[in-house]
Amino acid sequence: MSDAIAELIAAEGLPESYAQVVEAHWKPLATRIARLPAHRAPLVVGINGAQGSGKSTMCKFLEVLLARRRVRAITLSIDDLYLTRAERERLAQEVHPLFATRGVPGTHAIGLGIDIIENMLAGRELELPRFDKGADDRASETTRITGPVDVLLLEGWCVGARPQDLEALAEPVNELEREEDADGTWRGLVNHWLAEDYARLFDQLDLLVMLKVQGFDAVRRNRALQEEKLRAANPDAAEVMDEAALERFCAHYERLTRHMLEEMPQRADVVIEIGPDQNPVD
């Protein structure tokens, strides 16, 4: 195990045994990415995975492993493309109240993501946006990227998602949809945007990797762990959710998450099963 990997394991608060995960899963994936045909730079690798599946952690290790191969990889989370809080509030007032909650297609600045890719392809300097989940708003700080980028790791819970068939939208999947989207307007618009703006972004993918959790119950459990970490890191953050708020928040994600778990494994280039301990299943 290299010093860089050992240092990253320690920095992420992971057990030393995580080195086995790196060796068995992330190292072979980095090799596959490094061997992609270099028809453009950057190549765009989509990392799909439900909340708590380990996308962000995996991308940090991929950056280090790819750097060993002289491949410069930069990570962009689709979360960092969220509309500002003010923009979502305006969307909620003018289109549908459920768009006030970040997460579903329609609550991201997809044009910003496409611009980032275009600027990278052109070799221009650019600023990567960052989203502050504790404040539930886009952060003022950005990350400046200079010089050529070989691989863009685009990670997010709905990266690579495809719209549902219209018939599937008829029946609500949970109480939130039954009570607050009885006529299906909100879920219909989510599906529409997924077929339009988001499809244009996801068409940029050269490889789609899916971190496949065991079901939606795992999403609820993993999202609760994320909130605990957020609360520990930012005890004064106003937007850290309690149990009721967390349940409502997850309900916004349920329909599309279940849809992706059912249909995406058949078409993703790489599928990695994630166990209840949030690590890949051997």
Residue 241: pLDDT band with limits 50, 70, 90: low
Note the pLDDT tens digit of each residue in 174-231: 999 999 999 999 999 999 999 999 999 999 999 999 999 988 887 777 766 666 665 5
Question: How far, in Å, are 62, 63, 67, 156, 207 from residue 30 at the CA level?
Answer: 6, 8, 10, 18, 12
**Is the pLDDT reported for residue 33 higher than 90?**
yes
Contact 191, 169 (CB under 8 A): yes
- Residue-level pLDDT at 216: 82
Read off the amino acid at residue 62: L
| Residue 267 neighbours by CB distance under 10 Å | 11
Average pLDDT of the chain is 92
**Is the pLDDT reported for residue 232 higher than 80?**
no
Residue 236: pLDDT band with limits 50, 70, 90: low
Check whether the bond before 129 is cis (ω within 30° of 0): no
Phi, psi of 205 (to 5 degrees): -70, 135
